[in-house]
Amino acid sequence: MNDSVFLADHTWPEAEAKIAAGGPVFLPLGATEQHGHHMALNVDVVIPTAICERVARAVGGLVAPTVPYGNRSQPRSGGGPAFPGTINLSAHTFSLVVRDILVDLYRQKVRRIVVLNGHYENIWPSIEGIELALDVIGRDKTDGLTILRIDHWEFARPETIARIFPDGYPGIELEHASVLETSLMLAIRPDLVDLDRALHDGPAQFRPYDRFPKPPVEVPPSGVLSMTEGSTVEKGEWLLADCVGRMIDIINEEFK
C-alpha cells in the first residue's frame, strides 16, 4: 500500500481515491534563490515542503508538488538578482501559476486547500493567484470551498522568537539566510547546510527605500542579510513545532 502523502508519488487511481477521501491538499510555494555561502538554493522549497509533509501526515492530507520558482527576489528581503543561481518569475506569471493549479485542483473536486508560502516575495502574488482562481471558478460556485493561505514564519510564537533572539529580533525581512532559516534547515536537511562556509558580513543596514535599476550597496556580499551565528538544530525544531502545531490546530478548526 502506498502511504506517501505526496500526490505525485501516487498513480492516478490512487490519487483519485485519496482526493475522494476529502482530506486537505497542501500546495507549498517556494523559490530557487541564493541563501549565502552556507546553504543551498532550494531553502524556500525544502522548508514549506517539509512542514506540509508533517501536517499532511497528521491530518490525512496530500501534498501537491511544490512550486520551485518564486516571485522576483528583492535586495532588501532576498538579496536580489545579483547572485547567480536565483531564478525569478514575474509577479504576474507567479500569480497565474498559482491560479491554474488551484483551478485544476477544484476541477478534480478538491475543496480543502492549504497554500503554504516559503518565500517572502511570494506574499502578494500568491494572494492575487487565489483571487484569480476564485474569479475563474466563479464566486457563486464556491460553496464548500475553503483555501487557507499561510506564510510559515508567521506561526513562530513570540516566546520562541524571544528565546532565539534574547538581544532583539531583527525582523523577518533581514532573516533571509539567517538564524531562522538556517536553524530550520539544520533540523530538516542538515546535508544542505555548511556553517563552516558562512561569511559574517551582516547585518545589512538598508535605507528605507528601494532604488532601481542598480540595487542598494547595502546588500552584504555573502547574501546573508542578518547573521548565522546562533543557528542550531534545536532552534529549528522549536520553529517546526510552532508551525506544524499551529497549522494542525487551524486545519482542525477550519475543516470541521
Catalytic hit among 151, 175, 176, 242: 176
Task: For residue 226, give the C-alpha cell.
Answer: 542578518
Angle between the N-to-C axes of helices 233-254 and 43-59, in degrees from 0 to 180, rounded to the nearest 10: 50
Closest CA to 182 of 221, 225, 245: 225
Task: For residue 250, give the C-alpha cell.
Answer: 487551524
- 14 in catalytic set: no
- 33 in catalytic set: yes
Catalytic hit among 38, 119, 175, 242: 119
Catalytic hit among 53, 121, 175, 242: 121
Alpha-carbon distance of 30 to 68, in angstroms, equals 5
Alpha-carbon distance of 246 to 56, in angstroms, equals 13
Task: For residue 135, give the C-alpha cell.
Answer: 474569479
Catalytic hit among 38, 44, 151, 242: 44
Strands (E) located in the chain: 25-29, 62-63, 70-71, 88-89, 112-117, 146-151
Catalytic hit among 35, 53, 151, 242: 35
Catalytic hit among 53, 151, 175, 181: 181
- 37 in catalytic set: no
- 3 in catalytic set: no
- 253 in catalytic set: no
Catalytic hit among 33, 53, 151, 242: 33
Q: List, by residue number, the catalytic residues.
A: 33, 35, 44, 119, 121, 176, 181
